[in-house]
Amino acid sequence: MEREKIEYLIKGLAVRNIDGYFFETFEEAKSKAIEMIPADASIGIGNSITLKNMRISKELGDRGNIVYDKTIAKSKEESKELKRKSLLTDWYITGTNAISLEGHLVNMDHSGNRVAAMLYGPDNVIVIIGINKITNTLDEAIYRVRNIASPQNARRAGFNPPCVDLGRCIDCRSTERVCNNLVVIEGQNNNGRIKVFIVNENDGF
């Protein structure tokens, strides 16, 4: 992506009290996150293909951090407990479904634990995002969340709402609907609490 667009996005985040960082690779972004997070900090991990591919949860755990990652839970009960504990961690690391060039972070959640942690709870939040999730406008970001990210996430989670077969949102009321919490983060009250790591690679839904 053109450097001018990245700089425009980072400026758009700054006026929203959100820190923006740019990296050429996910490996560089992972190294920065590990450097930034204290070795004795507790960390929550959002459910994200990007984060799984980065294996950041394992590296932080191996270093000695207390890591709450619901994707490695062995039961629904354990998953629920890990999601709850993630809300009170020192740091939270997650992906995002879309980001506009103006700096809007847009997400759709099934149960809401991921967006809840982004909004309030953890003292610091790192959002790691590939350039494939950058859109020109807020409307395009919402469209991307509904019609690109959500059908793929539903399939990945083993659900079968209409969008899985149709490849687009019809605003269904299926019992297997995963689109329950649409959240647009416009800015932050606490300057720098959210740190967005923009990576010049494609990954995730």
| Contact assessment for residue 86 and residue 45, using Cβ atoms and an 8 Å cutoff | yes
Query: What is the pLDDT, as a whole number, of residue 73?
Result: 83
40 half-sphere exposure, CB direction, 13 A CA radius: 0
CA distance 83 to 9: 30
- CA-nearest of 53, 50, 4 to 197 is 50
pLDDT of 114 above 90: yes
What is the gyration radius of the CA atoms in the chain, in angstroms? 16
CA distance 114 to 137: 23
Query: What is the pLDDT, as a whole number, of residue 165?
Result: 93
pLDDT of 154 above 80: yes
Average pLDDT of the chain to the nearest whole number: 95
Q: Which CATH architecture has domain 3-199?
A: 3-Layer(aba) Sandwich (3.40)
Query: What is the pLDDT, as a whole number, of residue 1?
Result: 73
Average pLDDT over residues 21-35: 97
